[in-house]
Amino acid sequence: MKLFIAALAAGALAAAASGFGFPLMIAKVFPVVFDNTQIPPELQDMIARLVAPEHMRMAVLLAVCSLLPLVFAVRGIGTFFNVYWISIVSMKVLEAIRLDAFSKLQTLPLSFIDRQKRGT
């Protein structure tokens, strides 16, 4: 059950990166890169504390451009773990079904098995 919940969480993370991350990139990041639009002041202040003023434009461009691979990485990691964990859960469910069917066959009386055609 825990593995299934983890798989759902990983799927939700991948979906959020796709459904929320890409539109955010188009709306906020691409204008900064292609149209020379100003970035939000909060982000600009944070970058200004880390770099010298003469390197500000390059640092902003680097920070903004690094967001695109980050979104793709989060989406890829979430998708990988979702598929991996769901496949483990599905194998465990199939194994439980097979074991239940086999134990049911083992408890049937021999007269029931003798009445059945061979191979059914």
pLDDT greater at residue 110 or residue 95: 95
For residue 115, is pLDDT > 80?
yes
Scan for tokens 């979702």, then name that residue. Answer: 82
For residue 67, is pLDDT > 80?
yes
Question: Tokens in use for 73?
Answer: 């990485």
pLDDT average, residue stretch 49-78: 86
Buried/exposed code over 36-52 (b: 16+ C-beta within 10 A; e: otherwise): eeebeeeeeeebeeeee
Q: How far apart are CA 85 and CA 106, in angstroms?
A: 32
Predicted local confidence at residue 24, as pLDDT: 83
Q: How far apart are CA 81 and CA 112, in angstroms?
A: 45
Of 4, 14, 9, 13, nearest to 86 by C-alpha is: 4
Q: How far is CA 75 from CA 4, 7, 29, 113, in A?
A: 18, 14, 17, 52
Threshold 0.85, pTM exceeds? no
Q: How far apart are CA 34 and CA 56, in angstroms?
A: 17
When pLDDT is cut at 50, 70 and 90, the band that residue 120 belongs to is low
For residue 66, is pLDDT > 90?
no
